[in-house]
Every structure is written in C-alpha cells, then in structure tokens.
Amino acid sequence: MLWKCSNCGFMHEDNEAPEVCPKCGAPKEKFVALSEEDGEKIYNSDRTNDIHMEIIDLAMKIADLALEGIEINLDPPCVSVFEKACDEAWVIKQRSKAEIAGHMTKGKW
C-alpha cells in the first residue's frame, strides 16, 4: 500500500503510514492512503521517470563534451558541430524535464 504525506508529498510504501514523515517530519496523521488506481499510476510511472532522469544526465554529459570540443577550437566546422550538439542537448534535457513536471501535476511520481 502507498501512503502520501499531505504536507510534502513524500510517498511511503508499507501496510501502515510511518510515525513521522522521513522528509518533513510531519506526524502519521498527515499521511493519506492512496487508492489502488492512484497507486498504480505511481508504480507505472516510476520507471519512465527514471528513464527521463537518465536522459537528462546523458544530455548534460553531451553538453559538457561539446563545450570541451568548443574550447579545443580545432577548426570552424568542428566547432560548429559541437555548438549544435550543445544546443540539441539543451533541447533534449528540457523535453524530459517538462515531461517529468507533467507527470508530477498528474500525480505520477
């Protein structure tokens, strides 16, 4: 069973709510048991949220590598490719961040 802290949104998995919220310290009474349907949303979205976080991490690595290539400044075509990679990595990162934010507003975290 999943329990949600109504104070901070922390999710707890157990037969009972915790005595205090591990995140904000709210008492047990602040926890609400999620319906089976809402619990399924949480479980089903867990992996896709992890994938989005991985994509964000990879995009940041691409941006870092591209910046290193720009600094080396071998020649204009090479620098242009790195600049485009940096820009594209930003877009990829923002898409995944926006999707995670959308999941949060739909109760899928």
**Chain segment 32-44, per-residue pLDDT in tens:** 999 999 898 888 8
CATH topology of domain 1-34: Rubrerythrin, domain 2 (2.20.28)
Return d(Cα 65, Cα 52) in angstroms, integer. Answer: 20
Rounded to whole angstroms, how far apart are CA atoms 32 and 30?
7
Predicted TM-score (pTM) of this structure: 0.75
Residues of the chain with pLDDT under 50: none
Percentage of the chain with pLDDT > 90?
A: 84
What is the per-residue pLDDT for 103? 86
Read off the amino acid at residue 52. H
